[in-house]
Amino acid sequence: MLTILFDGIAYGMLLFILAVGLAVTMGLMNFINLAHGAFAMVGGYITVLLMQRAGVPFIVCLPIAFVGTALLGAIAERTLYRPLYRRPHLDQVLFSIGLVLMSVAAVDYFVGSTQQILQLPDWLKGRTEIGEGAWTLGMGHYRLFIIAVCALVTVLLQWVLSRTRFGSRLRASVDDQRVAAGMGINVNVVFLSTFAVGSGLAGLGGALGSEVLGLDPTFPLKYMIYFLIVVAVGGTSSITGPLLAALLLGIADVAGKYYIPKMGAFIVYTLMIAILLWRPQGLFVRQGGKA
Amino acid sequence: MTGNGAQASLLRASRVKKWEPVFWLLAFAVPVVMPSEALIVNEIAIVALFAVSLDLVLGYSGIVSLGHAAFFGLGAYTAALFCKHVSPDPHMGLLVSMGAAAVLGFAASFTVLRGSDLTRLMVTLGLALILLELANKFDDITGGTDGIQGLVFSPVLGKFEFDLAGRVASYYSLAVLLALFIIARRIVHSPFGATLEAIRDNRLRAMAIGIPVHARLIAVYTIAAAMAGAAGALFTQTSGFSSLDVFEFHRSADLMLMLVVGGTGWLYGGVVGAIVFKLLQDFLSSQTPQYWSFWLGLFLVVLVLVGRDRLLKPWTWFKR
Amino acid sequence: MHKRTFVRTLAQAGAAAAALCAGGIAFAQGTPFKIGLILPMTGQQATTGRQIEAAAKLWMAQNGDTVAGRKVELIIKDDTTLPDVTRRLAQELVVNEKVDVLAGMGITPSALAAGPIATQSKTPLVVMAAATSIITEASPYIVRTSFTLPQVSVSIADWAPKNGIKSVVTLVSDYGPGIDAEKYFSERLILDGGKVLDKLRVPLRNPDFAPFLQKVRDLKPDALFVFVPSGAGAAVMKQFGERGMDKAGIRLIGTGDVTDDDQLNDMGDVALGVVTSHHYSAAHPSAANKKFVEAFQKANKNMRPNFMAVGGYDGMRVIYEALKKTGGKGGGDALLAGMKGQIFESPRGPVYIDAQTRDIVQNVYLRKVERKDGQLWNVEFDVIKDVKDPGKSK
């Protein structure tokens, strides 16, 4: 049972890293970016290709995936996304789905549609078991690694948000963009850097997740739903919201599939609908926050 | 004077425009003039009906829904099960499917009354996915991933058997599309329809002037569900089978794309969007069987960057 | 009418008449023989489509595109792994392009959807990939060159108890072929004296095998029997290793879909020693297969052919031979008669198309994953000859 809890936490943390960028950009720029999954996929492919073709060690690939995807995000924001901020949501949806289709086909063309298989370094392949019988805690080393990295990133994000000047500028822009601009905050720069970091995190998540979730060109289409669930339940006005939402969903999904395999897939959707019906603004939204 | 002006403009909007009968006549002529295209006309008609039903909900009432496939799928499976266990009559099957979808629509409408756009998006999506999983679980009824196959329907109107070339199918679908389209048109150009648009534009104000917002939304959602169910029934009846992918996410997603491409709040937007999207997809996939989605995506991106309303006005493309 | 217009009209009519005559002569000599190949080129089973397309093109490159004096035209269409698209494409191919043969069918629902079209239009349908037993019963015009899950599942159920495996947990994807595999494996295993501790079904669109594998770990069987569609085997393999199942003494057995040649080499050491039963291994030690694999790899950037490719390759052979038997004339019923009862040497081994059931009868091999020349291969160590589909032999 503890193992299942552990697995659920690992899955949840992974979902969080993947979805936090989406939550922040939606809250900040009010832009529904369904192409977020494509950035995750890019990060995954950067890692896989570097490892397979250039023999770069896994641990080095992770920061490269982050930086590479962040750069891609920055370029995309400046050229493609910026003109569309004022457009109605439906246009943004159309646009981002178009981007996803293009990226899926492009990756298929250049790399092929087979599942990419990652070879983890040996020190990540093991497994530790503590305890006996029903209280056994079996921890795969890779999942421990995921939890560690994601926890580190979360702490870092929270620190940046609450302790740095950039963080306070970001929070101001999320709360009320017009007033923030009026106070002299360079909203464009805030947007650009936030989008870049958000995409970079998605790339990192994609790199970490390739081992667990699989990596093929249809990755964005398959997993976009889960990111959206995390953002909808967690709300877009903080990062603790999506964190808790992701953990909740990760544990519910894994535990559900283990204990009630027949209802496995239902659990996540039913839980989400129940939560959204009870609290339509998301589970963890501050009172008075923007809808 | 202002009262008369407002009334006159509303009446003018609801009058049948000159090009509308021409449009429908052309549509009905295609299966005769180009019989090799009958099959795709059938597909377009079905998806256009589906899109019009979403327009009622999205364009006219402002409810964002990514799970409209739930009603389509329910209609499809109801028609399949009706044919298999009760009677192969397509007309009864159509009505029963519409009824079943309406019931589901009524029940589901309570979930979309509150919340932001994102919430509604996710709730509707979740509902469709749950139905997908349910259909998968109860595979002794639904046939699971293999679906319900080999359905044979009795002839339309007792006389026209479903032929291999799809001619009867296309006329059947076009006829149902036209009938339901006329009903939809009547609805949106009525006082009821005007209240829907009021709710879409400013819910608070609509509530303030006494419009029963929740009742209206429930009503339109149920009606739209029934129409989507009809589309689903047509799908099963013209293809002879029904499988799990009627509930899939991509069906709702493609539908929303079509509607947005054609333009919401215009009823014809759904039809135009369906035509453009399907033909484009068919053309692209015959050119590049593997990578057609790239060009489709590019089309969408360019469309948004250039501006949707300019799609229908080629002379504005190069103006700045 | 003006004289000039009259002459012009006459000239045009004459030209048209001449063209018709020429066309008529050409018609009599050989309208192209069209094969409508409907494959999932995009969507969930895209790798299936890729492999079969490559195999079909290889066949035509090796055997030319003229059979019995007629030119053969291959029309490839993408059904995006959706059965309703398969059906519409089949209809269009039959009605508009007037194809002589339909082929492909990446998944069971697609084959079942296209069946009625084949029956109504009396066009033979060669199923090259789909593997549920009932498919050949969906239409009297269906001929199969792929395999059926029952065929390959019973073989490993026979092998297991003789090799120290008494208790098994089955883990299959929740759809037609998976359920077939689960049913036939369990029945045969119990018949041979084994025990099935639990039957787990994984939804087809499953992101994480972890909870299911954890459950298996807790049940502690001698072995885990797995069936997942071609392409998903790698994920199972990885999770199996990650969960320490091999170290806990649980063996992994299954049908060959789990060690799909398409992905096997990338799976790494965790796949070593896995025993599977299947009808085709790229390492099959016959001259015909060596030639096939070499030619395939050369034409496709070193991509290794898998059992889907061999289904496509043999499907093309069946079509060509049938056309030869009808002397190039074709015709639905004549072609079908020409397909039934064919016996030939395929890269997988000897193959026979049963005249009664129109299904494929072939050898099923037991293979173990071993490393040879630095690559992972399914090395055959035993064979059960001429296995008919148990799903039908009732």
Q: What is the DSSP letter of C96?
A: I
pLDDT band of B145, cuts 50, 70, 90 = confident
Task: Give the residue from B16, B134, B83, B85 showing the smallest Cα distance to B241.
Answer: B83
pLDDT tens per residue across span A8-31: 899 899 999 999 888 888 887 788
By CB neighbour count within 10 A (0-12 exposed, 13-18 middle, 19+ buried), where does A163 fall? Answer: exposed
Q: What is the DSSP string of C184-198?
A: HHHHHHHHTT-EEEE
Give the model confidence (pLDDT) of B16-74 as tens digits.
888 888 889 888 888 888 888 888 899 999 999 999 999 999 888 888 888 899 999 99
C-alpha–C-alpha distance, residues C38 and C86, integer Å? 7
The helix/strand count (H/E) of chain A reads as 11, 2
The identity of residue A228, as a single letter, is L
- Which residues in chain A are closer than 8 Å to C231, comparing Cβ atoms? 114-115
* Residue A25 pLDDT: 83
For residue C109, give the nearest of B145, B235, B240 by CB distance.
Answer: B145
Q: Pick from A108, A265, A276: which is nearest to B133 by CB?
A: A265
Q: Which two tokens stand for residue A131?
A: 């305890």
A220 at C interface, C-beta within 8 A: no
What would the pLDDT profile of A201-232 be if each residue is shown by its tens digit?
999 999 988 888 878 888 888 788 888 889 88
Q: Per the CB < 8 Å rule, is A214 touching C203?
A: no
pLDDT over threshold 80, residue B200:
yes
A218 touches chain C (CB under 8 A): yes
What pLDDT is attached to residue C360?
Answer: 92
Q: List Cβ neighbours of A60 (8 Å cut-off, separation of 6 or more).
A: none
A contacts of B305 (beta carbons < 8 Å)? 80, 83-84, 95
Determine, for residues A101 and B293 on separate chains, whether the beta-carbon distance falls below 8 Å: yes
- Is B7 part of the contact surface with chain C (CB cutoff 8 Å)? no
Are C238 and A117 a contacting pair at CB < 8 A?
yes
Lowest mean pLDDT among B131-140, B285-294, C184-193: B285-294
C352 phi and psi, to 5 degrees? -140, 130
Residue pair C279/C152 in contact (Cβ under 8 Å)? The answer is yes
Question: Strands C251-255 and C195-202, how do they pair?
Answer: unpaired
A239 to chain C nearest CA, in Å? 24
A77 at interface of C, judged by CB pairs closer than 8 A: no
Choice between B165 and C137, residue whose per-residue pLDDT is larger: C137
Residue ranges and CATH numbers for the domains of chain B are 34-287 (1.10.3470), 296-320 (no CATH)
A40-57: pLDDT as tens digits: 999 999 998 888 888 888
- Interface membership of B241 toward C (CB under 8 Å): yes
Residues A234 and A286 sit within 8 Å (Cβ to Cβ): no
Map residue A280 onto helix, strand or coil. Answer: coil
Are residues A102 and B118, on separate chains, in Cβ contact within 8 Å? no
Burial class (CB in 10 A: 0-12, 13-18, 19+), C108: buried
- A288 vs B9: CA distance, rounded Å: 41
Band of pLDDT at residue B310, cut at 50, 70 and 90: low
Helix axes B19-33, B167-188, angle to 10 degrees: 170
All residues of chain B having their beta carbon less than 8 Å from the beta carbon of residue C78 are 285, 289-290, 292
Separation between Cα atoms, residue C66 and residue C87, nearest integer Å: 28
Structural domain boundaries in chain C: 30-147+285-358, 150-278+365-387
Dihedral of the alpha carbons of B73, B78, B84, B85, in degrees to the nearest 10: 150
Q: Are C228 and C258 in contact (CB under 8 A)?
A: yes
The mean of the pLDDT values for chain A is 84
Q: Tokens standing for C170?
A: 């089955």
Q: Is A222 within 8 Å of C207 when comparing Cβ atoms?
A: yes
CA separation for the pair C221, C228 (Å, rounded): 19
Which residues of chain A make contact with B131, given a CB cutoff of 8 A?
Answer: none
Q: Does residue B280 belong to the interface with chain A, where contact is any CB pair within 8 Å?
A: no
The beta-carbon neighbor of B293 closest among C42, C92, C179 is C42
A223 with C207: Cβ contact below 8 A: yes
Q: Comparing C-alpha atoms, which of C146, C84, C147, C78 is closest to residue C114?
A: C84
* pLDDT exceeds cutoff 80 at B285: no
Q: Which CATH architecture has domain A2-116+133-278?
A: Orthogonal Bundle (1.10)
Joined tokens for residue A81: 């996304």
Please report all neighbours of B, defined by 3+ CB atom pairs within 8 A: A, C
Instruction: For chain C, list residues whose CB is within 8 angstroms of any CB belonging to chain A.
Output: 42-44, 46-47, 50, 200-201, 203, 205-208, 210-212, 214-215, 217, 231-232, 234-235, 238, 241-244, 247, 262-263, 266-268
What pLDDT, on the 0 to 100 scale, is given for residue B76?
94
Contact A101 B300 (CB under 8 A): yes
Interface of C with B (CB under 8 A): 41-42, 46, 76-78, 80, 82-84, 87-88, 91-92, 94-96, 108-109, 112-113, 115-117, 120-121, 132, 138, 174-176, 179, 203-204
CA B237 to CA B233: how far, in whole Å?
Answer: 6
**φ, ψ (nearest 5 deg) of residue C48:** -60, -50
Q: Is there a contact between B297 and A98 if contact means CB atoms under 8 Å apart?
A: yes
What does the pLDDT read at residue B311?
56
Residue A165 burial by Cβ neighbours in a 10 Å radius (0-12, 13-18, 19+) = exposed
Q: How many other CB atoms sit within 10 Å of the CB of residue C220?
A: 13
- The residue-averaged pLDDT of B246-272 equals 85
Smallest CA–CA distance, residue B320 to chain A, in Å, is 14
CATH number for domain C150-278+365-387, candidates 3.40.50.410, 3.20.20.70, 3.40.50.2300, 1.20.120.140 = 3.40.50.2300
Strand ranges (E), chain A: 127-130, 137-140
Name A54's Cβ contacts closer than 8 Å, sequence gap at least 6.
none
Looking at residue A30, its pLDDT comes to 80
pLDDT at C15: 41
Distances in Å between the alpha carbon of C91 and those of B150, C119, C123, C176, C317? Answer: 15, 11, 11, 24, 24
Q: For residues A134 and B64, what is the distance between their CA atoms, to the nearest angstrom? A: 46
Instruction: Say if residue A71's pLDDT is above 70.
Output: yes
C242: nearest CB among A140, A214, A222: A140
How far does C169 lie from chain A, in Å, by closest CA?
14
Contact A94 B250 (CB under 8 A): no
> Looking at the complex, does the CB of residue B127 fall below 8 Å from at least one CB of chain A?
yes
DSSP A133: G
Give CA separation, B268 vs B8, B22, B25, in Å.
22, 13, 15
The three-class DSSP label of residue C131 is: coil
* C-alpha span between B15 and B21 (Å, rounded): 12
Over its C-alpha atoms, chain A yields an Rg (Å, rounded) of 19
Residue contact A258–C234, C-beta within 8 A: no
Identify the residue with better confidence: A93 or C281: C281
Contact flag A225-B129 (C-beta cutoff 8 Å)? yes
Of B122, B123, B304, the CB nearest to A84: B304
What ranges in chain C are assigned the alpha helix state H? Answer: 3-30, 46-63, 83-92, 108-121, 149-159, 176-191, 210-219, 233-242, 261-264, 287-299, 307-325, 332-339
Q: Which residues of B fall within a CB distance of 8 Å from C179?
A: 144
pLDDT of residue B62: 85
Whether the CB-CB separation of C149 and C180 falls below 8 Å is answered with yes
In single-letter form, the type of residue at position B260 comes to: V
Which residues, in sequence order, are CB contacts of A208 under 8 Å at separation 6+?
Answer: A14, A17, A62, A146, A149, A150
- To the nearest whole Å, the CA of A3 is away from the closest chain C CA by 8
Q: Do A262 and B129 touch (CB under 8 A)?
A: no
For residue B149, give the nearest of C76, C138, C179 by CB distance: C138
Condensed to tens digits (0 to 9), the pLDDT of residues A162-206 reads 888 888 888 888 778 788 888 888 888 888 988 999 999 999 999
The whole-number mean pLDDT for each consecutive block of 10 residues of chain C, a chain of 394 residues, reads: 49 42 43 92 83 94 89 90 87 90 91 90 93 89 92 89 91 85 92 91 73 86 89 80 82 90 82 90 92 92 90 94 88 90 92 91 92 90 88 63
B307 phi-psi bin (left φ>0, alpha ψ -120 to 50, beta other)? left
Residues in chain C: 394
What pLDDT score was predicted for residue A133?
65
Chain B partners within 8 Å of A221 (Cβ): 250
Least confident of A112-116, A286-290, B167-171, C300-304: A286-290
Inter-chain residue contact C234 with A117, CB threshold 8 Å: yes
CATH class belonging to C30-147+285-358: alpha beta
For chain A, give the number of residues: 291
A116, A127, A214 ranked by CB distance to C244: nearest: A127
A105 CA to chain B: closest CA distance, Å?
Answer: 5
Chain A residues touching C214 at Cβ < 8 A: 3-4, 7, 138, 258
What is the pLDDT confidence band of residue A284, given thresholds at 50, 70 and 90? low
> Pairing mode, if any, of strands C349-353 and C360-372?
antiparallel
- For residue B155, give the DSSP letter: P
Asked if A264 is an interface residue toward chain C (Cβ–Cβ < 8 A), one would say yes
